[in-house]
């Protein structure tokens, strides 16, 4: 059973967090909003902000790559990986297996950018978490690759799905007890779809 995620704001610093999995929140950095398709990771500074908003990077540890060519190249590779992940998630939602090509690339990232884990104390409780101390731009691959590996190997695939709104591209992990979540968010798509259905029913009843 998927563990229930801790409640948090849907939007943090301009980024959407409704995926209940870091890998899906990363996937959801490209959206379709009212004005059309929108890329949220527009530059390295935006990537840094997303890492902070996602709780992966401490604000005080922000690296100084935002104006470097290596930082821009790393972001370009990361966005390419994101779109490959999107294709694989859609492929799996259609009943197919994750491709060997993608698994090979993921395993190469995991080998090249391993994550260090540490146990943290929070009052009387202990928790296990990533230690993310980026030194070069490609280090951002470490937490993302680890999150993708967890999503594909640990999270039940029937709990990962796309919002049912035809115009939405947001994916999420359904952590509800019944597994009946249909929308990325009631605030974003759920209410809109319900209002549209209500208006359509009223039109059909009109003489």
Question: How many percent of the chain have pLDDT more than 90?
Answer: 66
Three-state DSSP class for residue 143: helix
pLDDT single digits (tens) 7-65: 568 999 999 999 999 999 999 999 987 778 899 999 999 999 999 999 999 888 888 78
Domains present along the chain, CATH in parentheses: 15-205 (1.10.3300.10)
pTM of the model: 0.85
d(CA 101, CA 94): 18
pLDDT tens digits along 108-142: 999 999 988 899 888 889 988 888 888 899 999 99
Average pLDDT, the chain: 87
**Residue 38 near residue 30 (C-beta atoms within 8 A):** yes
Could you list the beta-strand ranges (E) of the chain: 11-12, 15-16, 30-33, 36-39, 116-122, 125-131, 160-162, 171-173
- Output the DSSP codes for 47-98: HHHHHHHTTSS-GGG--S-TT-HHHHHHHHHHHHHHHHHHHHHHHHHTTPPP
Specify the DSSP class assigned to residue 177.
S
What is the rounded CA–CA span in Å between residue 167 and residue 22? 23
Q: What are phi and psi of 162, to 5 degrees?
A: -90, 150
């Amino acid at each position: 059973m998927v563990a229930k995620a801790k409640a948090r704001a849907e939007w943090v610093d301009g980024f959407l967090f409704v995926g209940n999995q870091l890998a899906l929140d990363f996937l959801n950095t490209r959206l379709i909003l009212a004005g059309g398709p929108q890329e949220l990771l527009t530059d390295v500074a935006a990537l840094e902000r997303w890492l902070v908003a996602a709780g992966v990077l401490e604000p005080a540890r922000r690296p100084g790559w935002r104006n470097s060519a290596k930082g821009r190249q790393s972001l370009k590779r990361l966005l390419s990986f994101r779109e490959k992940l999107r294709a694989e998630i859609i492929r799996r939602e259609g009943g197919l297996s994750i491709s060997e090509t993608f698994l090979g690339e993921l395993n190469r990232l995991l080998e090249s950018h391993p994550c260090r884990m540490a146990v943290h104390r929070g009052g009387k409780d202990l928790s296990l978490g990533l230690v993310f101390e980026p030194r070069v731009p490609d280090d951002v691959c470490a937490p993302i690759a680890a999150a993708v590996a967890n999503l594909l190997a640990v999270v039940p695939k029937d709990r990962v799905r796309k919002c049912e709104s035809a115009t939405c591209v947001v994916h999420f992990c359904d952590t509800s007890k019944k597994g009946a979540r249909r929308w990325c968010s009631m605030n974003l798509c759920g209410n809109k779809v319900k209002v549209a259905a209500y208006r359509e029913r009223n039109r059909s009843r009109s003489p």
